[in-house]
Amino acid sequence: MALLRKKVRIAEIPSGSLADIAFLLLIFFMVATTIDMDKGIGIVLPSAQDSEIEMSKKNITNILIDPRGTVLMDEKEIAIQDIRTKVEALQFQNPKMVFSVKAHPLTKYRTYIEVLDQLKQAKTRVISIAE
Amino acid sequence: MELKKKSKLNVAIPTASLPDIVFMLIFFFMVSSVLRSHEGLQVLMPKAKQIEKLESKVHVTYIWISKEGLISIDGRLYQPQSVRSVIYEKRTVDPQLIVSIRADELVNMDLISTIHKELRLADALAVNYSTRAI
């Protein structure tokens, strides 16, 4: 009688692709997490100890904002979306130009940000915030 | 002449521990990523085009200003004139402090000017007006 040979069964879960699965998970989480980036308009305030700097008037452009949202630039009314081109032209004429933004206390913050945005778009070097 | 038997080298990088390494990576990223929950007020921030990213989140303090005129820093309400002392303390701890103003678009400029003055007195001069992208 022939002895039955015991079969050795090798049962193994294939683990070669486990790394791929883990990578997929990693990539999924990396893509799915929304990192809410803080974005905004950056400015640097003058320090409180700074004494007022004397500047010649021809180097300053005053931008006034009234409560209704009307913008005056050098005593002339200007539409907010036109500020950029005007500022770019002024900067081209006089690279030392400083833009001073002055808002009425009842002006809405939105208008102020719109004006600052225009100045930033025109790559203004110095923005002064008058109070 | 006896032929040399070519030795068969079984060259394989052991990949059994690769999943472990990747899982460790996952855990590392999960633990180290800071999910900042915004504790603040209900605000609708103004829109702007030319916006820049804040470089670091670590050095940022948020001042929330709602359209009702409430001011909140770190989840607590403050009067405008006490912003100075709060920010000054933070500024002493972290000299690289950036103040991010998250104000509603309907806030009046007099409140913003008051905050500006307070920030100047607290010597926190780097300011970022938080906006939404258009």
pLDDT of B85 reads 92
> What's the gap in Å between the CA of A89 and the closest CA on chain B?
18
Q: Compute the distance between CA of residue B80 and CA of residue B66 in angstroms, rounded to an integer.
A: 12
State the pTM of this model.
Answer: 0.73
Question: Comparing A127-131, B62-66, B83-87, which segment has the lowest mean pLDDT?
Answer: A127-131
pLDDT of B63 reads 92
> What's the gap in Å between the CA of A111 and the closest CA on chain B?
8
Tens of pLDDT, residue by residue over B46-68, are: 888 888 887 777 788 899 999 89
Tens of pLDDT, residue by residue over A41-59, are: 888 888 877 666 777 788 8
Percent helix / strand / coil, chain A, rounded to 5: 35, 20, 45
Among A15, A39, A111, most B C-beta atoms within 10 A, so best to mutate, is A39
**Does the pLDDT of residue B87 top 90, yes or no?**
yes
Contacts of A112 in chain B (CB under 8 A): 109, 112
Domains of chain B in sequence order: 47-133 (3.30.420.270)
Tens of pLDDT, residue by residue over B92-101, are: 999 999 999 9
- Verify whether the Cβ–Cβ distance A38 to B54 is below 8 Å: yes
The residue type found at A45 is: L
Tens of pLDDT, residue by residue over A89-107, are: 988 988 888 888 999 999 9
pLDDT of A1 reads 58
Of B45, B116, B52, residue with least CA distance to A114: B45
Q: Compute the distance between CA of residue A36 and CA of residue A2 in angstroms, rounded to an integer.
A: 74
CB A127 within 8 A of CB A41: no
Burial of B47 (0-12, 13-18, 19+ CB in 10 A): middle
**Does the pLDDT of residue B125 top 80, yes or no?**
yes
Domains of chain A in sequence order: 58-130 (3.30.420.270)
A130 Ramachandran zone, left/alpha/beta (phi>0; psi -120 to 50): beta
Q: What is the mean pLDDT of chain A?
A: 83
pLDDT of A36 reads 64
pLDDT of A22 reads 81
User: What H or E segment, with its residue span, contains residue B61?
Assistant: strand B60-65
The residue type found at A98 is: V
